[in-house]
């Protein structure tokens, strides 16, 4: 007969944390939220860490380039959705990698024979107001000048006016020589009161641009998640169908990590995908989703750099209703974390786990971490923000944003639910199309969430995520104690502020 688990499958809402002694080291300002994202060996450093334990979901309605930029600037990572053409996904990755860097390769370039109309069109296309003028119109040509909005007046200058007649010529530019450090470049910028410093070689060929605003931005975002070249980090979702074509394009675009996106990751298709990528590319790849020990061990042995946990726990996911598979998210995380720890003891290889789904309240993030997750993945949370790719819609006296699942008819991401064979379409939905309350800017909301996480960890006497996992104490709660935990037996006032 079938194997039957006697333990109840539980959710995060069925648990609370018991406070531990809060010491001087556990003040919110001292809490370290950095966490490993990919596997590493005992006594070695992890090659890819998150500065906050949060990544965004691999969804059309969540993770595009604008959200990836905003989240990386706050210390997290986005996995740009894969249910789009290879070219569009790779282009989104490129936009993130080019958005901010100490040394930026210029992607807004013209020649001296271009016109003001060309300048306006290029600015409209790229959003960049600084345009490099080179002899061949490329990012590596001989630098002849710069054009910024201070060099022309649209209301008075004719659109056919040549760039050479209004650009700031090279002879009047302050430039840096190739090989200088970022610190030296910033010193030149501040010393000459510049907004932009071109970096050229001995032959006057352009290599990079360094911007004052990037320095200011970094000071305002000290937890930015950057690669060794000071570029923002970004991930991308892939499937088990077109990975041989998709992965090369994403690697070429500069992606930092990949994640195989599937509602059920305990499959040979994920192993085949991992085998191919690991044999051909030096790139970190996560796999999933799984909900038990067996699923974790299968993907660990297959070579996954991290493993994602969760089936059916997302707010727009109806996999449990449609297929009757899944597990309460808390129970799934607890079992997989135990398997991960045993695997580490046995092999000396630590494989981080990501809790995907089931997060309703901010404190659920701390619960997931305390139960053993190294980081969490969220979709609904991020879909509410300005930076997500969906429309903001008026609803009553407020606004909402669209939010749909990858298993919905709207997304039609059949590859995420692929069971092999020749079938290439969806027979039924595993996700819904919905709205979420509009919440404003990502950075403002994430700051509140991180403050809550730090306050909770302070109460638990833990100054780091690893310490939280070792010392946290959790208790099950009853339905009546959940009611007791909120406002009750009072008449709430209408807020006047």
Catalytic annotation, residues = 317, 416
Closest CA to 81 of 102, 101, 67, 99: 67
| CA-based nearest residue to 283, from 242, 233, 240, 241 | 233
What Å distances lie between residue 295 and 267, 300, 301, 332, 373, CA to CA? 9, 9, 10, 11, 16
Rounded Cα distance between 399 and 393, Å, is 5
- Contact (CB, 8 A) for 257 and 237: no
**Could you tell me the end-to-end alpha-carbon distance of the chain, in angstroms, rounded to an integer?**
61
- Strands 284-290 and 131-134 come out as unpaired
d(CA 284, CA 79) in angstroms, rounded, equals: 13
Do you know the residue count of the chain?
497
Cβ atoms of 366 and 457 within 8 Å: the answer is yes
Show Cβ contacts of residue 252 under 8 Å, excluding neighbours closer than 6 positions: 90
Angle at 436 between CA 433 and CA 438, to 5 degrees: 140
Measured CA to CA, the distance from residue 371 to residue 334 in angstroms comes to 5
Using DSSP, state whether 243 is helix, strand or coil.
Answer: helix
Strand-pair partners of 132: 109, 146
Q: Which tokens sit at 426? A: 């969806």
From CA 315, how far away is CA 391, in angstroms rounded?
19
């Amino acid at each position: 007969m079938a194997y039957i688990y006697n333990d109840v499958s539980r959710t995060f809402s069925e648990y609370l944390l018991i406070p531990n002694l809060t010491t001087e080291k556990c003040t919110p300002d001292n809490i370290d939220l950095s966490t490993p994202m990919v596997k590493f060996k005992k006594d070695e450093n992890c090659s890819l860490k998150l500065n906050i334990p949060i990544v965004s979901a691999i969804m059309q309605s969540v993770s595009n380039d604008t959200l990836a930029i905003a989240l990386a600037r706050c210390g997290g990572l986005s996995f740009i959705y894969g249910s789009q053409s290879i070219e569009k996904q790779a282009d989104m990755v490129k936009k993130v990698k080019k958005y901010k860097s100490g040394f930026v390769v210029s992607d807004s370039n013209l020649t001296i024979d271009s016109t003001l109309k060309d300048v306006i069109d290029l600015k409209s296309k790229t959003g960049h107001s600084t345009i490099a003028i080179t002899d061949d119109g490329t990012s590596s040509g001989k630098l002849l000048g710069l054009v910024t909005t201070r060099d022309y007046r649209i209301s008075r200058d004719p659109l056919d006016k040549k760039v050479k007649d209004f650009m700031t010529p090279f002879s009047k530019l302050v430039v840096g020589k190739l090989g200088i450090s970022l610190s030296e470049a910033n010193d030149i910028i501040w010393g000459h009161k510049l907004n932009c410093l071109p970096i050229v070689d001995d032959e006057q060929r352009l290599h990079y641009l360094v911007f004052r605003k990037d320095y200011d931005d970094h000071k305002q975002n000290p937890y930015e998640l950057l690669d060794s070249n000071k570029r923002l980090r970004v991930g991308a979702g892939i499937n088990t169908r077109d990975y041989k074509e998709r992965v090369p394009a994403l690697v070429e675009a500069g992606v930092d990590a990949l994640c195989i996106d599937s509602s059920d990751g305990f499959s040979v298709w994920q192993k085949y995908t991992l085998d191919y990528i690991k044999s051909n590319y030096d790139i970190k790849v996560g796999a999933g989703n799984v909900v038990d020990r067996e699923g974790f061990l299968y993907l660990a042995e297959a070579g996954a750099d991290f493993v994602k946990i969760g089936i059916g726990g997302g707010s727009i996911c109806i996999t449990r209703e449609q297929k009757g598979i899944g597990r309460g998210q808390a129970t799934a995380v607890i079992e997989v974390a135990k398997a991960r720890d045993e695997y580490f003891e046995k092999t000396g290889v630590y494989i981080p786990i990501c809790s995907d789904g089931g997060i309703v309240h901010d404190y659920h993030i701390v619960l997931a971490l305390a139960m053993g997750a190294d980081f969490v993945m969220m979709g609904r949370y991020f879909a509410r923000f300005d930076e997500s790719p969906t429309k903001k819609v008026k609803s009553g006296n407020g606004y909402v944003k669209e939010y749909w699942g990858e298993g919905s008819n709207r997304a039609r991401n059949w590859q995420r639910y692929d069971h092999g064979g020749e079938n290439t379409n969806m027979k039924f939905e595993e996700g819904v199309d919905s709205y979420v309350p509009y919440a404003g800017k990502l950075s403002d909301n994430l700051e509140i969430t991180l403050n809550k996480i730090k306050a909770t960890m302070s109460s638990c006497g833990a100054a780091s995520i690893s310490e939280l996992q070792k010392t946290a104490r959790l208790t099950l709660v009853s339905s009546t104690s959940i009611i007791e935990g909120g406002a009750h037996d009072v008449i709430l006032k209408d807020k006047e502020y």
